[in-house]
Amino acid sequence: MNKRTIGILTGGGDCPGLNAVIRGVTKTADKFGISVLGFHDGFLGMIEKRFDMLSFERVSGILTQGGTILGSSNTASPFEHVIAEGGQTRKIDVSQQCMELYRDLGLDALICVGGDGTLTIGGRFAEMGANIVGVPKTIDKDLMETDTTFGFDSAMVTATEAIDKLHTTAAAHHRVILVEVMGRNAGWLALESGIAGGGDVILIPEIPYDIELIAASIRRRSRFGRKFSIVVVSEGAMPIGGTQVVAKILADRPDPVRLGGISHVIADQLEKMTDLECRVTVLGHLQRGGTPSPIDRLLATRFGVKAVELVITRNFNQMVALHGIEMQSVPIQNVMGKQKKVPLDSPLIQVALSVGTTFGAPLDMSLRG
Ligand code: F6P
C-alpha cells in the first residue's frame, strides 16, 4: 500500500508562526508514517504544479523563523486565475485542473494555512470533493469561530514595542505621535496594542471618529501638563460620515483594496487644531515580520498537530480553532467570506475607556471590564 500523503500550503499575507505550523504538521505526520507535500507560494503552487516533499530534516530548526519556507501568495486564486493575453489580462477558472492535480498526487487531504481568502478558497475545494483542513492565520485576528489566530500575538508585540518607544520620544519633544497599525476592517490590533501601550487615543474602523473630540482630548491633556499624546490608528479608521483612506487598488488581486495613510490626514488636522507638533509612524509590514512570539509558537504548533489529528480521524472540511484553552475544530463553511470585527459592546472598549483612553466618539462607560 502506498504511503498516505497530505498536502499543505500557506496562502495570503505572511505572518510569524507559519513555519511553526509547517513543522508541527510535518513532524506529527512523520510519527504516523504520513508523507507531507508542500505547495509553493500558496495556491499558485497548485496552479503551476510547483511543490516538493517536506521531510523531518527540512522542517527541523524552522520553529523560530518568520515568513514561510513554502512561500505565500495573496494574488493567486484557482477560481480567478489571472492570465495575460494579447497585452491584456483576464481571469479564468482553473479549479478543475487543481482538483485533477490533487487526485493525481494521491493526496489524502490538503491543509490550507491562511486567512479568510485562503480558507474561503479551501472551502470551495471542499465543496468540489477535496478533503480540506484549515488553519487560521492572520495578524488581523479577524477570522470567525476561533478566539484568536496565530500571528496576532507577534504583531501585538511589535506594535506595542513601537508604541512604547514612541511614547518616550513623544514625551521628550512634547509631540503628538500617531502610530498607524494594520488590521484592514477590524480594529483588534489597534485596540489591543493601544491598551497594552497606553495609547491616549485609539481609532478603529468599527468606531468612526469625530476629529473635534480627538482634538479636545489632546488639548485637555495639554492643559493638565501632558503636552504629548499617543494616537494609535488602525489603517481602516474613518471619520463619522466619511470613508477609509485607500493607499492603492491592486486590480488583479482577489482582495484589491490596500488601506493606509489615514494617520497623515488626522495628523494634519490635529496640528492645526491643537497647536502641537504632530508626527506619524506607519508600522506597515514590520508587523508581519520577525520571529514568532512564544505564544504564537505554541499556538501554531498546537494548530499544526490538531490539523494532522483531523486528517487521521478523517474529520475533514474543518478549520482548527482555539476556544478558551481548548483546541477544537469548526466547519470551514462557517468561516468562509466572513470577518470578525470588534463588537461595540466589547469589554476591551470599556477597559480602554476606564483608563481614560478616547475613541474620538461619544461612548458610554460602564464598568464591565
Ligand atoms: O491581512 C493581513 C494584512 O497584513 C492586513 O493587516 C493588511 O491590510 C494587508 O494584509 C496588507 O497586505 P499587503 O501585504 O498585500 O500589502
Q: What is the pLDDT of residues 139-172, one digit of tens each?
A: 999 999 999 999 999 999 999 999 999 999 999 9
**53-106 pLDDT, tens per residue?**
999 999 999 999 999 999 999 889 999 999 988 888 899 999 999 999 999 999
Residue with CA nearest ligand 1 atom 8: 184
The dihedral built from the CA positions of residue 324, 325, 327 and 328, taken in this order, carries a sign that is negative
**Is the pLDDT assigned to residue 235 strictly greater than 60?**
yes
pLDDT over 70 (residue 359): yes
What pLDDT was estimated at residue 366?
Answer: 67
The pLDDT mean for the chain works out to 96
pLDDT at 2 over 80: no
Q: What pTM, to 2 d.p., does this model score?
A: 0.96
Please check the confidence at residue 38 and state whether its pLDDT lies above 70. yes
- Ligand 1 centre and the CA of 174: distance in Å? 32
- Ligand 1 contact, 182 CB (< 6 A): yes
Burial class (CB in 10 A: 0-12, 13-18, 19+), 316: middle
pLDDT > 60? residue 369 = no
- For the CA of 140, the nearest atom of ligand 1: 6
Give 137 Cα–ligand 1 centroid separation in angstroms. Answer: 12
* Interatomic CA distance for residues 368 and 348, integer angstroms: 9
Ligand 1: does its nearest atom lie under 6 Å from the Cβ of 253?
no
Q: Which fold has domain 154-289+343-367?
A: Rossmann fold (3.40.50)
Ligand 1 lined by 183 (C-beta under 6 Å): yes
Q: How far is Cα 317 from Cα 324, in angstroms, rounded to an integer?
A: 22
Q: What percent of the chain is modeled with pLDDT above 90?
A: 92
- For residue 259 and ligand 1, the question of a CB distance below 6 A is answered with yes
Q: Where in the chain is the domain with CATH 3.40.50.450?
A: 5-150+292-334
Is residue 1 scored above 80 in pLDDT?
A: no
What pLDDT, on a 0 to 100 scale, did the predictor assign at position 367?
53
The CA 140 to ligand 1 mean position distance, Å, reads 9
Of 111, 110, 47, nearest in space to 80 by CA:
47
CATH class for domain 5-150+292-334?
Answer: alpha beta
The pLDDT of residue 355 is above 60? yes
Tens of pLDDT along 164-184?
999 999 999 999 999 999 999
* Start and end residues for every CATH 3.40.50.460 domain found in the chain: 154-289+343-367
Which of 18, 113, 139, 182 should be mutated for ligand 1, with most atoms under 8 A from CB?
A: 182
Tell me, in angstroms, the distance from the centre of ligand 1 to residue 13's CA: 6
Confirm whether 140 is a catalytic residue.
yes
pLDDT band at 125; cut points 50, 70, 90: very high
Of the candidates 108, 140, 153, 296, the residue annotated as catalytic is: 140
**pLDDT over 70 at 340, yes or no:** yes
